[in-house]
Structure 1
């Protein structure tokens, strides 16, 4: 399966835009206060980064960035039409699930449609798409077969993405044509038995030969998607790097490894809960001799390469999840409109209506984030690490809930194999784990944003000290009345959405105050306050979702689209519910509840010490 990433012990983000994760010890420094920062902290135009400062910066979220030109739209239709036909007539997700394999002939036909080289330039035999176009393709595939979607994503979103992003011209010319056309397949090899979320602790070693012409790699990787049939692997290994003081330190480097080099073998396919059609194996590297020119980037820079590969490709998960949600909603709508119980169609019952409306708002929010993120990436924006992380968490959580509700509305029929919803639920479960388990990603979101806010708080304190009473009063006024987030947002949205924009603006200010309060109260200890951090992340996810929804609906209302009144209702329902969740999460984060946290700690510790449940059975057995 795709590599599990985003380390818990590596939650320091160095200057904005680098997306480099380091150690928890370093994180403690960043979210507390270094005595004398040498330079002023960098400003960011990222909405989510500024959210942690309680600032409203809407440059990247308004207007809604519909990025495709007429020519790009026509090109996309030329791809999606044949792709939809292929998915309907050729690919068989039920059979793939039963046999735990996607036939090579099916993959070959998908490759002929350009599905495996979407972002590769045409001169290198790729489809030459942008991220927005790729998102649409991933959405269509996700609605049909998430196992095929994982195979595609493991190949192009991460498998050879390192070559596309960081490869030399020679590396790109040598490898990308075969990979873009599906003549060869790629895999991403990072995760190890002892290194899952803590990706920097990998043990695979790469040592340079005496003549400097090769690296010899030894080690093993687990949960590698496409690993059983891939020809080209992006492999991460520790390399000894000489330090300025003359000592040597192991640092991660990235390599292009061909199976044809010899010494790389793969184990049998793993037996999985879902995405069974995709291939997942262990791989073993025994004295694999890799040419020195197959190093990606520089020695010791592999961790940054890995993080940026995953960050860059992370929007593919929300896109696929959006497609899966649409499938579940369509199937449920058809069923609810025809199923009769107690003399009524079940769509007439309030509980069914509530579930269907909830499924729709979750889909609308996810879809809004997907195309916001993809378009910003196409515009060349670099600082989107928090937005990508939020998109991944929100999409995978929403998709799971949507499919679960679809099964619930179908009743016993939903549990049956023939309805196919059980397969979708099994397939969706992994999306909350790989490319950054959601619980780890929430800590990443909260600590990355808090680190950014902490640096600016330090600078603010320094400025107040230097500026005297005038600077102090100016800051007090800003904190009292906010920075006009609500008013500015209201000026950006369609007039029909003004009230909801005002509510969102208010919680943006509340969010910033909460983060500042937590940083002031806990300082270095904030990294260990996972109870509070998780709730801060949940609030951030809801706020960004609301802004994306407002932006999209404004675009629709301004166009006077015939469905605009429906969009407006979705916005109203989503914001009403999300604002309540945000306020509840911020209140719990601010209050902290050490008693509750203590009880959680005690119960878990006692169960662990006992090797299982401690309480006695009611029958005293």
Structure 2
């Protein structure tokens, strides 16, 4: 571990409880050691990777593996591997710094990300002592490269519908695996495959399969829209004999491994999106300053400035969301003894605790990067469509993120679905809070005035929570057990939660910056937070109206909308002025600024 430990909170608890800014992790909390880790990663990318960018983009396996081993020598592959197994055993904030800084390496960053994340973590969290001792030192050093094999030709989002089978041999010494896995990152050169298969066609389980095992082969490279420098192939298993010692955890526990590893994968995907977003902002701001039209640089035009301001604001909010979530995950995983036989159970519980937050990171991060990349291309104009300019590649590469690690549609269904399940189990007082709110809304709510910096935005965050509780309670009462079938309502509730978590994360971070830096030095953070918070609140209000209209009619609906009006009272804010202030800073710095 390298950083401070932050307060442990209940997953999804941000909906019903207010957080204190001192209790959350932010980039401003980085230690000197963490900054050195980030600097080491940047140096590696600049010195060893980017000079070979063209070769890597043409899918040079030999070079990719060579550079991954170089990254292993620097410790960049072992951040999440405990020290006793040859890794560094870093916290998730330090690990996130590496992932973010690697993102400028484009497809190569994906090759590393698949290896250190979904490829290695199943063994870190769920492997036996023998498995950890056998495989983790090689994975941390890069002597072996890993791949994760869940998707099949007939099962993508429906992961449990997999058809790959595993049959225990009569003598009990090995399992026989047969089936095909699709879209496997690193398949062209991976040494180990984390494979999901159904024992006896029923029990979803996980196996460590070695490339050298007889019957293992890969299909041809997929011709992809983006991320062209990463290997993506099918994995074919034909009666592969896998020793029983290579069963990961227990028979029938594969779903717990798969879904919890995907939770971490979703978080790390958002981190990569942040790195891409910052690069796109820097490229766009520099181009806007250099491109002259009508006798002046296009950065001088307000509409170009507005784009840069909105790009930077979304990146700032995403960064706030990511560090807050990293602090939560660290708090859950910090007490796990990886040498304990029960480490798998404890790991699954700790990771699952923040499944909601991880899905929020994935959706918000991937869509923020898509927005930023799209606006970056627009600022570049026709040149943004030309491969010579990197913004074109960022645009193409970004599109996969809304599909990777569970589509954004699946994640949107998971976010409120998981929240409701936690409430029904008594883990979150959602229903109690919603009932108390109904009583409060019957009373006259007086208008309020706000004087302190971010006081109104703090109030809007509290009101956004009440709006969600009101809309969510209405949906639960109207649909009951059928709510999971009402996907339109679920996605509206998910979008409210996403905006709420993002809004609160930015407000808390900006308040923390205010406390440590003072009004003047935190002015930009305050401006971005205010602009985002008011835009997000408007979206939450619209989504609440949509949800209430879907669950109620007539006089009852009018009563609900009247109550909603009490919760959405606010004074208009001059976002044009705020965005001009933000734009000026981005244009001046020619890059992301917080």
Superposition TM-score, scaled by structure 1 size: 0.78
Instruction: Tell me the residue number matched to 2:99.
Output: 138
- The alpha-carbon distance between structure 1 residues 104 and 455, as it changes in their structure 2 partners (threshold 3 A), is closer
1:12-64 Cα offsets, whole Å, 9 max, x none, are xxxxxxxxxxxxxxxxxxxxxxxxxxxxxxxx94363562xxx22427x7533
Decide whether the 8 Å contact of 2:11 with 2:356 is kept in 1.
no
- The alpha-carbon distance between structure 1 residues 271 and 563, as it changes in their structure 2 partners (threshold 3 A), is farther
Provide the aligned length of Structure 1 versus Structure 2: 520
Instruction: Tell me the residue number matched to 2:394.
Output: 424
Instruction: Tell me the residue number matched to 2:124.
Output: 164
- The alpha-carbon distance between structure 1 residues 77 and 341, as it changes in their structure 2 partners (threshold 3 A), is closer
Q: Distance in 2 between matches of 1:71 and 1:336?
A: 34
Q: Distance in 2 between matches of 1:593 and 1:514?
A: 9
Decide whether the 8 Å contact of 2:79 with 2:87 is kept in 1.
yes
Instruction: Tell me the residue number matched to 2:539.
Output: 581
Shift of 1:593: 8.7
Q: Distance in 1 between matches of 2:240 and 2:37?
A: 41
Decide whether the 8 Å contact of 1:187 with 1:230 is kept in 2.
yes
Please tell me whether residue 504 in structure 1 is matched to residue 504 in structure 2: no
1:524 to 476, 481, 485: 481
Q: Distance in 2 between matches of 1:586 and 1:90?
A: 50
Q: Distance in 2 between matches of 1:371 and 1:110?
A: 24
Instruction: Tell me the residue number matched to 1:288.
Output: 240
Shift of 1:139: 0.8
1:332-371 paired onto structure 2 within 5 Å: 332-371=284-323
Q: Distance in 2 between matches of 1:152 and 1:589?
A: 41
Decide whether the 8 Å contact of 1:189 with 1:236 is kept in 2.
yes
Structure with more contact order per residue of length (Cα contacts < 8 Å, sep ≥ 6):
1
Q: Distance in 2 between matches of 1:47 and 1:583?
A: 24
Instruction: Tell me the residue number matched to 1:196.
Output: 156
Decide whether the 8 Å contact of 1:119 with 1:126 is kept in 2.
yes
Decide whether the 8 Å contact of 2:478 with 2:551 is kept in 1.
no
Q: Tell me the secondary structure at the aligned position of residue 333 of structure 1.
A: helix
- The alpha-carbon distance between structure 1 residues 458 and 255, as it changes in their structure 2 partners (threshold 3 A), is closer
2:378 to 387, 400, 408: 408
1:212 to 172, 179, 184: 172
Decide whether the 8 Å contact of 2:13 with 2:428 is kept in 1.
no
- The alpha-carbon distance between structure 1 residues 225 and 332, as it changes in their structure 2 partners (threshold 3 A), is same
Superposition TM-score, scaled by structure 2 size: 0.82
Q: Distance in 1 between matches of 2:390 and 2:317?
A: 25
1:548 to 505, 509, 532: 505
CA RMSD of aligned residues (A): 2.8
Please tell me whether residue 569 in structure 1 is matched to residue 527 in structure 2: yes
Q: Distance in 1 between matches of 2:482 and 2:42?
A: 54
1:397-424 Cα offsets, whole Å, 9 max, x none, are 0101101001101111111111111111
Q: Tell me the secondary structure at the aligned position of residue 337 of structure 1.
A: helix
1:425-444 paired onto structure 2 within 5 Å: 425-444=395-414
Q: Tell me the secondary structure at the aligned position of residue 379 of structure 1.
A: helix
1:607-618 paired onto structure 2 within 5 Å: none
1:411-490 paired onto structure 2 within 5 Å: 411-454=381-424, 477-481=436-440
- The alpha-carbon distance between structure 1 residues 460 and 256, as it changes in their structure 2 partners (threshold 3 A), is closer
1:129 to 90, 96, 99: 90
Decide whether the 8 Å contact of 1:393 with 1:438 is kept in 2.
yes
- The alpha-carbon distance between structure 1 residues 115 and 499, as it changes in their structure 2 partners (threshold 3 A), is same
Q: Which runs of 5+ in 1 are unaligned?
A: 1-43, 241-248, 464-473, 596-621
1:129-157 Cα offsets, whole Å, 9 max, x none, are 22111111111111x12311211121110
Q: Distance in 2 between matches of 1:71 and 1:145?
A: 24
Q: Tell me the secondary structure at the aligned position of residue 330 of structure 1.
A: helix
Q: Distance in 2 between matches of 1:457 and 1:520?
A: 19
- The alpha-carbon distance between structure 1 residues 349 and 235, as it changes in their structure 2 partners (threshold 3 A), is same
Q: Distance in 2 between matches of 1:433 and 1:217?
A: 27
1:151-170 Cα offsets, whole Å, 9 max, x none, are 11211100121110011111
Decide whether the 8 Å contact of 2:430 with 2:469 is kept in 1.
no
Instruction: Tell me the residue number matched to 2:12.
Output: 48
Decide whether the 8 Å contact of 2:38 with 2:98 is kept in 1.
no
Decide whether the 8 Å contact of 1:87 with 1:141 is kept in 2.
no
Decide whether the 8 Å contact of 2:85 with 2:136 is kept in 1.
yes
- The alpha-carbon distance between structure 1 residues 574 and 74, as it changes in their structure 2 partners (threshold 3 A), is closer
Decide whether the 8 Å contact of 2:114 with 2:146 is kept in 1.
yes
Instruction: Tell me the residue number matched to 2:556.
Output: none
Instruction: Tell me the residue number matched to 1:110.
Output: 71
2:226 to 257, 274, 282: 274
1:330-359 Cα offsets, whole Å, 9 max, x none, are 111112223222233222222112211110
Q: Distance in 2 between matches of 1:437 and 1:74?
A: 33
Q: Tell me the secondary structure at the aligned position of residue 58 of structure 1.
A: coil
Q: Tell me the secondary structure at the aligned position of residue 228 of structure 1.
A: coil
- The alpha-carbon distance between structure 1 residues 62 and 521, as it changes in their structure 2 partners (threshold 3 A), is farther
Decide whether the 8 Å contact of 2:79 with 2:95 is kept in 1.
yes
1:90-149 Cα offsets, whole Å, 9 max, x none, are 441x4422457554333332222222222112332223322111111111111x123112
Q: Tell me the secondary structure at the aligned position of residue 592 of structure 1.
A: helix
Decide whether the 8 Å contact of 1:79 with 1:114 is kept in 2.
no
- The alpha-carbon distance between structure 1 residues 588 and 265, as it changes in their structure 2 partners (threshold 3 A), is same
Shift of 1:70: 4.0
Q: Tell me the secondary structure at the aligned position of residue 181 of structure 2.
A: strand
Q: Distance in 2 between matches of 1:423 and 1:412?
A: 14
Decide whether the 8 Å contact of 1:47 with 1:58 is kept in 2.
no
